[in-house]
Amino acid sequence: MDELAIAGNFAAGAVDFSLYSLFLRADLVVKSVIIILIMSSVYSWTIIVEKLIRMKRLKRLDKEFDEIFWSGNSFEDLYETFNFNQNDPKSKIFCSAITEWKKSNRDTNSIQSEVLNSLKERMGRSMQVTFNKESEIIEKNLTFLATAGSTAPFVGLFGTVWGIMNSFQSIAIAQNTNLAVVAPGIAEALFATALGLFVAIPAVVAYNKITSDLSKYFISLETFMDEFTTIFFRQLENK
């Protein structure tokens, strides 16, 4: 018994448990699970980095826009400034409204409530369409983070179950419960679980962080649309 135990321990110690070796020893199903999770992780981090960089850039452009917009220049001058280089959604929203006003400029010579209401409605629709387009662009691929965060643990769990099944088959074939027989399959199974969590945890954290920041940013855009509409038509009515 002592000799068998020593031999078993030696065999177990001879097994390479590095991640690369675990991947090579895994069967086709577990390898497929590992590859899918690695690709999901790479794509998730690509989205995370891209969104964080975009949010930082949007905040900077938003601050620059506010400084210029509230500087006291006329809407025509602001339009020339922002329309020359539209880099952020707020500039595009503002320019879309002014463009609609310029198309209907002759109608505002007579200050009638019907004319103003019609213009306000058209400008509001134009800004809302631009807002929807820009928000769709900003949120592109963001749902993948939510999908990865919710499904990756289950994909890893599937690999775990499959690895454990292979371990039981190895036990049945060898008719031996020695650690050297069981350990490799169990290690492969746990590797799939760990990889699933490695994909899911950053994806969920990043998704919550990014969606929270985007929600605040979109609220600021909607607030600007309301403020701009109020200021613009107050000036028209005072002409």
Question: Checking phi first, is residue 60 left (phi over 0); if not, alpha (psi -120 to 50) or beta?
Answer: alpha
Backbone angles phi, psi at 213, to 5 degrees: -65, -40
Q: How far apart are CA 3 and CA 146, in angstroms?
A: 53
Residue 206 pLDDT class (50, 70, 90 cuts) = very high
Confidence class for position 11, pLDDT limits 50, 70, 90? very low
Closest CA to 36 of 204, 161, 158: 158
Residue 97 has pLDDT above 70, yes or no: yes
Tokens of 1: 């018994």
Q: In this model, does residue 108 exceed pLDDT 90?
A: no
Nearest by Cα to 47 from 153, 152, 154, 203: 203
pLDDT of the residue at 174? 64
Task: Look up the pTM and report it.
Answer: 0.78
Least confident of 24-33, 119-128, 182-191: 182-191
Q: Mean of the pLDDT values across residues 83-89?
A: 79
Question: For 222-238, what is the mean pLDDT?
Answer: 87
* All structural domains of the chain with their residue ranges: 2-238
What average pLDDT does the segment 75-81 reach? 87
Say which residue, 67 or 87, is predicted with more confidence. 67
pLDDT, residue 116, reads 76
> Within 13 Å, how many C-alpha atoms sit on residue 200's CB side?
15
CA–CA separation, 139 and 122 (whole Å): 26
What's the whole-number mean pLDDT along residues 38-53? 94
Residue 221: other Cβ atoms inside 10 A: 19
Confidence category of residue 233, pLDDT binned at 50, 70, 90: confident
Pairwise pLDDT comparison (3 vs 229), residue with the higher score: 229
Three-state DSSP class for residue 86: coil
pLDDT, mean of residues 4-16: 46
